[in-house]
Structure 1
Amino acid sequence: MPNLKFKNVKQFTLIFFLVLAVDITVKLYCPMRFRYFTKPLLIILLLFFYYQQKEANNKRDQLWVFLALSCFLLGDIFIINHLNPVLLSASLVFFTLGKMFFSIKFLHKEDFNVVRLIPFSMLLFAYIFLLVGYVYEDLNVFFLAAIISFFFTLVIFQFAFLRKGVFSLKSYNYVFFGVFLFLISESIMAIKTFKYGMPCQDFLIMLAYGSSIYFMTMGILFEKEGVEVREI
């Protein structure tokens, strides 16, 4: 891995989604133990690529991104065996921390339109309220952890929404789409874990989750107009 160098974004994107396809295949058809190798590779690739491009960001921004991705990496490892309540609890903690660090990264000091934010926040809050209400009876000891986790989903979605007009349009679209995909993945995972199985659930969870972390990370690299991800 230390000698791996990506020529451009297209090459990295191809490699990333090939690894994602391999992980989905392993998840669907192979013993669970093999995923302890394939699933962490997704975050490791993103961390490595972001590190190569770190000159495009200041050190404080780099720290939040590295912390967020590192927490997601640990959450990925623990949630592989989500039927184990201890590992599931640990994964919720690390995913919540990851969302918190991404939220700090997405936060900016520019003025924003409160009127535009209110209807969006109300719609998002209603969705999360209905989702939590749907799985409420089956949460049991995970109720508090789930509430905190979904709260930070609400926060990260709002901060992603407020980036519009502050950063480049490409960056805004990438990050917002990534956060949206993360919400979809998290919703399906919550229903799968605490309620009942859904058709193609494992495929949809990993496709949405893998794509979400890709788009959020790449969106951060395109924050400024005219900034190109440099060739390595």
Structure 2
Amino acid sequence: MTSNKGFIAFFCLLLAIELICSHFASLQPYRIITKPLLVLSLIIFFLLRAKHLDGISKSLTLLALICSLTGDILLLFAEHTSSFFLAGLIAFLLAHLLYISTFLKRRNPHKKPYLLYALLASYAILIFHLLKNHLGDFMVPVAIYMGVILIMAVTSFLRIKQVSASSFLLVFLGAIFFLISDSILAINKFYTPLAMSHLSIMFTYATAQLFIVLGLIKQR
């Protein structure tokens, strides 16, 4: 528990440095270091703290984090060419598919959260309706990505009562933060620029990854 608190404090420091670098134009070149360090630190922390997990769950989570790290690096160059954005999108798509596989290993077969399905579907329809006339060639990739991240959010909920309450809550909140982060990113890129978008995107994204990793470590 003490080491978890120590890591959380260290991670928050890394996040603060990344947010400062993303906010000030003169410091943005340093993001090539500060941004990847966030997920890289989570990978190291997970390797050290997840020895009690079964091999498949551990491997799937590590691959998800590696794909996320790859996506982070690719998106740093997305402003130069749309190819980097598409490649980053694919990297995070793979990360979500790996998280889905991890969450399904602890799925509660008795839960049918129809209300959650309806809420997430309504949210997705609203966001897609907002973006659809601005997506251009990204219409299909974004639609696929939205579907996958919604499934990720649902499967994170389906762990309810199959793991400890803290593990369930952390992973589920992490999935919701991921959904929020990607929504802000999509609206900012395809619909209208948002004030302080880099800060809100990175804060919600980093929180999402931290919560998911902490929640999976608490899984027994």
- Structure 2 length normalisation: TM-score? 0.95
Amino acid paired to 2:6: Q
SS at the partner of 2:155? helix
Give the structure 2 partner of residue 206 of structure 1: 202
* Contact persistence 1:67–1:101 (CA under 8 A): yes
- Structure 1 length normalisation: TM-score? 0.90
* Contact persistence 2:75–2:84 (CA under 8 A): yes
* Contact persistence 2:107–2:158 (CA under 8 A): no
1:78 aligns with 2:74: yes
Give the structure 2 partner of residue 94 of structure 1: 91
**Pair 1:176–1:109, CA change in 2 (3 A):** closer
Unaligned runs of 5+ in 2: none
Unaligned runs of 5+ in 1: 1-5, 225-232
Amino acid paired to 1:34: Y
Identical-residue share of aligned pairs (%): 27
Alignment deviations for residues 7-30 of structure 1 (CA, whole Å, 9 cap, x no partner): 601110000010011011101113
- Runs (4+) of structure 1 exceeding 6 A deviation are none
Aligned residues: 217
* Contact persistence 1:106–1:163 (CA under 8 A): yes
Amino acid paired to 1:16: F
Alignment deviations for residues 37-92 of structure 1 (CA, whole Å, 9 cap, x no partner): 11000111000010011312011111100110000001101112332201000000
Give the structure 2 partner of residue 3 of structure 1: none
Q: What does residue range 19-58 of structure 1 map to in structure 2 within 5 Å?
A: 19-29=14-24, 30-58=26-54
SS at the partner of 2:51? helix
Alignment deviations for residues 97-144 of structure 1 (CA, whole Å, 9 cap, x no partner): 000000000003542222xx1111011011011101101111111111
1:12 aligns with 2:7: yes
* Contact persistence 2:68–2:95 (CA under 8 A): yes
Amino acid paired to 1:89: L
What's the Cα RMSD here? 1.4
Give the structure 1 partner of residue 133 of structure 2: 137
